[in-house]
Structure 1
Amino acid sequence: MSNSLTRWSTPPKKVIAIHRVYPELDCGCFAIQRVLGESIQVEADIFAHGHDRLFCRLLWRHEKESLWHSTSMEDIGNDRWRGTFLVEQLGKYWYTIEAWVDRWGSWLAGTQRRLPTDPDWAIVWEWGAWELAQFLERAQPEDRRQLEELREILLSEKISQEEKISRAQDPILHKITLRYPDPVCITRYCRELPVQVDPKRALFSTWYELFPRSASRVPGQHGTLRDCEARLEYVARLGFDVLYLPPIHPIGRTARRGKNNQPTAAPEDPGSPWAIGDETGGHTAIHPQLGTLDDFRQLVRRARQLGIEIAMDLAFHCSPDHPYVRQHPEWFVRLPSGQIRYAENPPKKYPDIYPFNFEGEGWQSLWEELKRVVLFWVEQGVRTFRVDNPHTKPFAFWEWLLSEVKQLHPDVIFLSEAFTRPKVMYQLAKLGFSQSYTYFTWRNTKEELTCYFEELFHTDVAEFFRPNLWPNTPDILHEYLQKGGPPAFAIRLILAATLSASYGIYGPAFEVCEREPREPGSEEYRNSEKYEIRHWDWDTPTPIRDLIARINRIRREHPALQQNRLFRFHWTDNPAILAYSKWTADGKDRILVVVNLNPFHVQSGFVEVPIESWGLPASGYLVEDILAGIPYHWEGNRGFVILDPSKTQAHILWVRGP
């Protein structure tokens, strides 16, 4: 035992335990994610032996700062402490916790437990004076003067006990003592924890996917970037603030896919945009029929004028005709025969695509080149990227690339398109992806939706995973949409737009409620736009276009829908009716959404309203269906709804109050 004490040259000062810090991801290995202007609430168990009072403070700094900011933490009971700070710069922050014995506070607590007639009262004043003397050694001149004055009062025999107690309890003097703890008595948490701060659009954004080659108003004519620019005002009128373009690069000829993914292409078939590269260029080139780099820059400029960000697709693989194949054969995997291995996802085969070998002999030059590709498009004005299949590339690559790009351009965000195992999806988010695709497309029942979004919003997942909900994509046409018709499209739109702060649609196909699969049981579209140029009628009204615009306007007007943290599900007595609410921290905006999940039949039932927590009188309150523009007067903690999917698929209720 005696040998173990040799690590201390003097008796150890009181050591304070700091445990169960929250939020903290994997022992601080990964950053929690926030957006600009958000507050971060940090909690921890903090305690020490004995009865001394503690002072705890939360420390934080931006990565470009050397000095720490601090704020005191509040004891919320049972040795649990809480503090909050605001993130006001993009980039990375660090935070930690310090604690020490509040010696003056502990002394004050002891004096308050004594009676004025205590026979040992003189010893109390001597002890208080001694405590003040310790602070005097470290205090600045102005603070020292006030501490010395109090010390003289405590030692004076001419001043009454009551006066001494009153002066000693001055909160200003208590704050002064907290400025000068003994440095050797401060306990700091063993880790500095990271926070990645992204632009606000990383949390709240509304995406519209459009194939540029299908943007022409002339049937059968290949669209251009200028045609896309002509569509911008239309996209803005619908209320979208991100226009996502599938790859706009040259498309290879070798093994080109035909219509409906046929293995043989006709001469006029344009091929898949994801088969990137031909003799005219690769990942930094633009398909000649789409236009020029100047056209693209103009598209980005005009979009930004309308409040729209252009999202580029990052698909890190090649067609067999890509210049990389000839210039850098070491970047690809070769079979024993010497041939380059093409992409497979059994039973699917993609002979028109060569995956990169991220772990081969040429990995360093490959990684640097792909970083150059991203930075090239950043230089053209792109600040939003949708990343194709990131789960098929090494974690280490994404951790490096995202960090490198965000160090230079902290306003850039990345959307992870990874439909894979949950832990893999979560790992990618921890590595720095700003948003993520989800399983929302395959969650259609009340139980499925409730369980899934409880996990996303009410567990540790909420600290790093920002869901972006898509009812459809060019790859996914779910059976619910195939069979449910326009009511099903409306229901999934409302769910996507109100459950999460970010959502998107594969635009024209969703607007016209396109729902014919390639064959029975398939989630692929028939006549998929991935393999052919489509012509969309931009002028004829569709069953859902006006609803899309109304939903997006409601999202812009109601801050409650622009976040995911303040969210809860509500009881209903009908398994086909889903109810949930979102609200702002100040309680000024409260939205209650009630959705009929059955696209075929009328559903009715009662919905719970939390009148106590919302401060509503049981005698009556106003709720307004802002989707239909109809007010209702409800009473008590339940409201009754009738939802006919052919007319009213949902209520989006703004809870107004009495």
Structure 2
Amino acid sequence: MPGKPIVPSLSVSSFGIGVPGTITRSFPVGRSNFFRINEGQKLHLEVDFVKSHKKASVALFTNLNNNPNGWHEVPFRYVSSHKFMLDINCSKPGRYCFKVKYTMDGQKWAWDCVPFSYVMVDPLLLSNIKTYTLVTSSAGSIGDWTKILPHVRELDCNVLHLLPVTRMGATEAPYAAKDLFSIDPAYLDPASKDEGMTQFSRFADEAAKLDIHLCIDLVFNHVSDDSNIARLCPEWIQPDEKEADGFRRAGWQAGEKWYKWEDLVLLDYEHPNARVRKDLWNYMCHYGIFWAEFAARTKGMIRLDNLHSSNHAFMNYVLGEIRETYPDIIFFAELFTDTAKSSELVWDFGLDLMLATPWEHHFVPQLRGYLAEVHRRDKQTSHVLPITSHDSGTPAQEFGSVESTVPRYVISALMGCGATGLVQGVEYGLPQKIHLVGIKPAPEYTTGLNFTPFIAKINRIMDENSVFQRGDNIKFLDNGHDAIIAAYRFDEEKRCSEFIVLCNFDTFKPQSISIDLNDHIPGANIKFLEDLLTEKNITPSNGSIEITMQPCSAMVLRLIMG
């Protein structure tokens, strides 16, 4: 027989709850209002009492810079009987909370009557990311990938994104894994006698020597229909009586129509049997940690494929386990959902980066609006803005001209928020995208074009000027021009160089623009503007500049003050 129920006792708290309207704060509160700050930056907080209190004190209760459960108190600095300030150096990336407590008489303390505040501290790498995506099924062997590393550095890229390297199913599709814990035999270097994981490990070490961070692509949502899981643990697959093999297929929605991938079957993370569910979760968690090691070894990141379709509870679990094992790893997500939901998932999963899709906006007005939206959201959601992706077409396919590579890469790198990238072949003007399915030899670059020096130059400009390494610091000066985007990248504290970046997206004709600098940048006293691409100067006339741009061209104008 069970014993008598125990009634727990309540200990008396030494703190009360503050009266609303007693203080004002310089920072947002509530989880939905979380904000981001870079590693190494100071978090500046201010608290003001509505009335003067000579014996007042303020302290911060937080786990900032500690483990999630490592809470501590930090006193605010006395400024006046009304005002208190605190500056904390954010030295450790992660997700943190804080709350103010205060006393007005020097004796009785009270908690602030508002919710906790939430802050994400971003690792330093996030402020300057330039990715190069390698389509592994068309890039030869691991030995060939190693030879590509110096070219990645030649482009001044610092992150190498590898499409999944796991053993593929019969369709030879990188995202249709047959065995989650082995390298596909097609990738093995014939000149090496070592087994696949040894070869890949050596490749990761070579990348680290060149200070190239690996981005390992992980697929948690589905596996190949002929995978080891489907063959040996079919109960781990979602059922579908309409399919011949009884397995539900993955797919995507386009308007009112549902398209399915015939070779991809969905994993059943909500299986009603607790033992089956636990076995699946453990297996897939081991998969995530197994491959995350290679990313962590290079101080890199993992890419989360199709996160919007993944099981929320499992992803919360597995990402927590990966972060616990490799605290400094970066999470980069393919996540397509509405703004509110994406912000919620950024915090829940601790997502560092999300994929932006500028190539979907073919027309200048829509592209301008999209860039403005990316900057507006940067306080909570950091985006990578690649020129195109491995799923999209090449610049020639998307925009009708290979020369569009110039303005499109400039906006991705210099009108974004510090993270950009390109796909294998874009630097050589590849006219058609590299198709992912099927093992094929590396493409031959026969166009005679080579954008490598140009891309490297843009990347170096991004490296050397911090104004391009953050968001919410863009102002459009083009008055809604139909073909030209002109963006002012400013620094509110005027501690670094400021720029006007212009791109003409017209593939056929020159376009002209007039910009009244006095109107858009009042009081700036601009002596001249130095174009970092041509090394020519433009001198304003009566505070205005008149510019004619050739088709598919760009200008990066540094403001030189008088």
Same fold (TM over 0.5): yes
Aligned residue for 2:214, secondary structure, equals: strand
Structure 2, gaps ≥5 residues long: 1-11, 189-195
Aligned residue for 2:168, secondary structure, equals: coil
Partner of 1:587: 495
Partner of 1:69: 74
Query: How many Å apart are 1:29 and its aligned residue?
Result: 6.1
**Greater displacement, 588-597 / 58-67:** 58-67
Aligned equivalents of 1:314, 1:213: Cα separation in 2: 16
Partner of 1:512: 428
Query: How many Å apart are 1:389 and its aligned residue?
Result: 0.4
Aligned residue for 2:388, secondary structure, equals: coil
Partner of 1:302: 206
Partner of 2:288: 374
Query: How many Å apart are 1:293 and its aligned residue?
Result: 1.0
Aligned residue for 2:173, secondary structure, equals: coil
Change in Cα spacing, 1:419 to 1:47, as seen in structure 2 (3 Å) is same
Partner of 1:553: 460
Query: How many Å apart are 1:288 and its aligned residue?
Result: 1.4
Aligned residue for 1:634, secondary structure, equals: coil
Change in Cα spacing, 1:306 to 1:404, as seen in structure 2 (3 Å) is same
Partner of 1:276: 177
Partner of 1:493: 409
Contact map agreement 1:595 1:650 (CA 8 A) in 2:
yes
**Greater displacement, 225-234 / 481-490:** 481-490
Aligned residue for 2:453, secondary structure, equals: helix
Contact map agreement 2:61 2:74 (CA 8 A) in 1:
yes
Partner of 1:654: 558
Partner of 2:5: none
Q: How does 1:137-148 map to 2 (within 5 A)?
A: none
Query: How many Å apart are 1:351 and its aligned residue?
Result: 1.5
Contact map agreement 2:60 2:73 (CA 8 A) in 1:
no
Contact map agreement 1:204 1:502 (CA 8 A) in 2:
yes
1:435 equivalent to 2:332? Answer no
Contact map agreement 1:214 1:536 (CA 8 A) in 2:
yes
- Aligned equivalent of 1:544, options 451, 476, 487: 451
User: Structure 1, residues 543-578: CA drift from partner, whole Å, max 9, x if none?
Assistant: 522211111111112121122243332244733221
What is the letter of the counterpart of residue 365 of structure 1? D
1:93 equivalent to 2:96? Answer yes
What is the letter of the counterpart of residue 399 of structure 1? N
Change in Cα spacing, 1:483 to 1:16, as seen in structure 2 (3 Å) is closer
Aligned residue for 1:492, secondary structure, equals: helix
State how many pairs are aligned: 522
Query: How many Å apart are 1:283 and its aligned residue?
Result: 1.5
User: Structure 1, residues 261-305: CA drift from partner, whole Å, max 9, x if none?
Assistant: xxxxxxxxxx2111111xxxx122101121211111111111121
Change in Cα spacing, 1:602 to 1:92, as seen in structure 2 (3 Å) is same
Partner of 1:519: none
What is the letter of the counterpart of residue 164 of structure 2? P
Change in Cα spacing, 1:82 to 1:480, as seen in structure 2 (3 Å) is farther
Aligned equivalents of 1:273, 1:438: Cα separation in 2: 22
Aligned equivalents of 2:18, 2:269: Cα separation in 1: 51
Aligned residue for 1:250, secondary structure, equals: strand
Aligned equivalents of 1:533, 1:22: Cα separation in 2: 57
Partner of 1:631: 537
Query: How many Å apart are 1:57 and its aligned residue?
Result: 5.6
Partner of 1:161: none
Which is richer in helix? 1
Contact map agreement 2:39 2:90 (CA 8 A) in 1:
yes
User: Structure 1, residues 84-139: CA drift from partner, whole Å, max 9, x if none?
Assistant: 533111333332223444xxxxxxxxxxxxxxxxxxxxxxxxxxxxxxxxxxxxxx
Aligned equivalents of 1:643, 1:559: Cα separation in 2: 26
Aligned equivalents of 2:260, 2:246: Cα separation in 1: 16
What is the letter of the counterpart of residue 540 of structure 2? W
Partner of 2:19: 15
Contact map agreement 1:486 1:544 (CA 8 A) in 2:
no
Contact map agreement 1:59 1:71 (CA 8 A) in 2:
no
User: Structure 1, residues 56-79: CA drift from partner, whole Å, max 9, x if none?
Assistant: 56554333344222434879xxx9
Query: How many Å apart are 1:505 and its aligned residue?
Result: 1.3
Aligned equivalents of 1:439, 1:18: Cα separation in 2: 45
Q: How does 1:411-430 map to 2 (within 5 A)?
A: 411-430=328-347
Two-structure CA RMSD over aligned residues (Å): 3.3
Aligned residue for 1:98, secondary structure, equals: strand
What is the letter of the counterpart of residue 369 of structure 1? Y
- Aligned equivalent of 2:107, options 183, 188, 192: 183
Change in Cα spacing, 1:59 to 1:615, as seen in structure 2 (3 Å) is farther
User: Structure 1, residues 225-262: CA drift from partner, whole Å, max 9, x if none?
Assistant: 11100110011001110111111111112xx2xxxxxx
Change in Cα spacing, 1:183 to 1:360, as seen in structure 2 (3 Å) is farther
Change in Cα spacing, 1:238 to 1:540, as seen in structure 2 (3 Å) is farther
Aligned equivalents of 1:612, 1:602: Cα separation in 2: 24
Contact map agreement 1:441 1:478 (CA 8 A) in 2:
no
Change in Cα spacing, 1:245 to 1:573, as seen in structure 2 (3 Å) is closer
What is the letter of the counterpart of residue 301 of structure 1? D
Change in Cα spacing, 1:55 to 1:590, as seen in structure 2 (3 Å) is farther
User: Structure 1, residues 448-471: CA drift from partner, whole Å, max 9, x if none?
Assistant: 23433333323xx32321011122
Aligned equivalents of 1:59, 1:539: Cα separation in 2: 62
1:407 equivalent to 2:313? Answer no
Query: How many Å apart are 1:204 and its aligned residue?
Result: 2.1
Partner of 2:7: none
Aligned equivalents of 1:29, 1:408: Cα separation in 2: 27
Contact map agreement 2:136 2:164 (CA 8 A) in 1:
no
Aligned equivalents of 1:636, 1:554: Cα separation in 2: 29
Partner of 2:482: 575
Contact map agreement 2:97 2:118 (CA 8 A) in 1:
yes
Aligned equivalents of 1:444, 1:404: Cα separation in 2: 40
What is the letter of the counterpart of residue 554 of structure 1? I
Change in Cα spacing, 1:574 to 1:233, as seen in structure 2 (3 Å) is same
Contact map agreement 2:57 2:76 (CA 8 A) in 1:
no
Aligned residue for 2:499, secondary structure, equals: strand
Query: How many Å apart are 1:636 and its aligned residue?
Result: 4.7
What is the letter of the counterpart of residue 285 of structure 1? S
Partner of 1:159: none
The percentage of counterpart residues that share the same residue type is 20
Partner of 1:111: none
Structure 1, gaps ≥5 residues long: 1-7, 102-180, 216-222, 257-270, 517-524
Partner of 1:166: none
Aligned residue for 2:288, secondary structure, equals: helix
Change in Cα spacing, 1:29 to 1:605, as seen in structure 2 (3 Å) is closer
Q: How does 1:517-532 map to 2 (within 5 A)?
A: 525=433, 528-532=435-439
Partner of 2:132: 208
Aligned equivalents of 1:448, 1:196: Cα separation in 2: 30
Aligned equivalents of 1:227, 1:419: Cα separation in 2: 33
Query: How many Å apart are 1:14 and its aligned residue?
Result: 7.8
Aligned equivalents of 1:614, 1:305: Cα separation in 2: 47
Contact map agreement 1:276 1:319 (CA 8 A) in 2:
yes
Contact map agreement 1:616 1:657 (CA 8 A) in 2:
yes
Change in Cα spacing, 1:583 to 1:29, as seen in structure 2 (3 Å) is closer
Contact map agreement 1:391 1:418 (CA 8 A) in 2:
yes
Change in Cα spacing, 1:73 to 1:575, as seen in structure 2 (3 Å) is farther
Query: How many Å apart are 1:540 and its aligned residue?
Result: 7.8
Change in Cα spacing, 1:336 to 1:206, as seen in structure 2 (3 Å) is same
- Aligned equivalent of 2:168, options 251, 266, 270: 251
- Aligned equivalent of 2:393, options 477, 485, 510: 477
1:455 equivalent to 2:373? Answer yes
Contact map agreement 2:379 2:472 (CA 8 A) in 1:
no
Aligned equivalents of 1:450, 1:612: Cα separation in 2: 17
